[in-house]
Amino acid sequence: MTEEEVFEHEATCFLERHACPRAPEELRWGEGPEELTIFHETTGAAEQREVEEAKRWQATRWQAGFGWICGPPQYGGRGLPASFDRIYRSVEAGYAVADLSPLRIGLSTVGPSLVVNGSDVQIRRFAVGVHAGDIVACQLFSEPDAGSDLANLKTRAVADGKVWRLSGQKVWTSNAQFADVGLALARTDPDAPQHRGLTAFLVPMDSVGVQVRPIRQLTGGASFNEVFLDDVEVADDLRVGATGEGWRVALSTLSTERTATGDRSHALTGRGFRLLRTLARRQGQGDDPAVRQALAHLHARLEVARYHQLRIQAAAYGEGEGPPRAMDKLLLAGNLQAIGEVAARLLGPKVAADTGEWGTYAWSRWLLGATGYRLGGGTDEILKTMIAEKALGLPRAPS
């Protein structure tokens, strides 16, 4: 057997010991929840239960050697190529395991960023902690006046002996309500050019002066938070990278964020499309040429996005980043919106008025949630500018 086949067999044996096979999904109209919420939305005891279940499953994977498949061996990873991680995820998808959404920011964004930018102590304490299921991490980048224009952020970090004092406001922070640590970007030199006066820090979320408030979304859920930093004391050994090198840290972090955004998208869009086809038949529009054309066009879009992502995943490490990932994110955001638009076209007023009929008003959550995907991980405009400049060689946009 090849090395990949041996690994796949090992992963299968592990999952058979620790999980049950996932039952095939059968979309039966009118049975169970519609599951048309794009962003994960739970609160209270249910949310805390999901966090604990995710940490336990990640700890189980870590102990068996599947918690950090591509991670550096000196930090407990297996040092395997990305293709092995894809093999594992493909096998695990067939088993009923805990949802790792509460840990995803740490596993896919903060952890990888620390491996590139952090000190040995930071990697061992936080990146390893995340992959071992001990630590939940969040990302403290965006601000009310600095979302896609991240270099315009206002949060300040002032040196005070051997510590820094951070003050400011962060927004759209996923998982902040139960995170142990946040990777924050702050301005340490207000006189330097925007991109050169920034520094990254690891902020313990239980520090005095940290306040987390949920943000109520259009859908009614609260998947994101605003975080207030009021003279928060952070030790200098929690500074990530050199002072003034925060922009470099931010760029590598945002690259992995776009990777995480795209890689888990196709199960969601695929399920949405299957529901759309059933909806068209139930609405008596299954034979309408215009509806059939809209569904065919949508199917083609979804296939293009799927094949594009497969091409990125097959690329050598580092070759699929930058513009290819930006294209992946744009395809996902556009497809989510297109699915919602076709649903609205099929339903008419039913998408805006809750009649209690299964599979109708529930689409309103999809429509409202799809807007958020055009913002998270870089807005459409920012990503299109990146593709224009770095892939097409067009002149830089005037500043």
Catalytic sites, residue numbers? 257
Q: In this structure, are strands 181-187 and 239-240 parallel, antiparallel, or unpaired?
A: unpaired
| CB contact at 8 A, 102 and 25 | no
Structural Rg of the chain based on CA atoms: 22
| CB contact at 8 A, 170 and 227 | yes
Residue 326 burial (C-beta neighbours within 10 Å; 0-12, 13-18, 19+): buried
| CB contact at 8 A, 22 and 96 | yes
Picking from 270, 298, 271, 372, the residue whose alpha carbon sits closest to that of residue 34 is: 271
| CB contact at 8 A, 137 and 108 | no
Beta-bridge partner residues of 156: 167, 187
Count the helix, strand and coil residues of the chain and give each as a percent rounded to the nearest 5: 50, 15, 35
DSSP codes of every residue in 332-343 = HHHHHHHHHHHH
d(CA 131, CA 399): 40
The 8 Å CB, 24+ separation contacts for 143-149 are 143/168, 143/169, 143/170, 143/171, 144/169, 144/171, 147/171, 147/172, 147/375, 147/379, 148/375, 148/378, 148/379, 148/381, 148/382
- CB atoms < 10 A from the CB of 334, how many? 16
In 323-367, DSSP assigns E strands to: none
d(CA 80, CA 96): 25
Please enumerate in sequence order all residues whose Cβ is within 8 A of that of 242, keeping only pairs 6 or more positions apart, or say none: 199
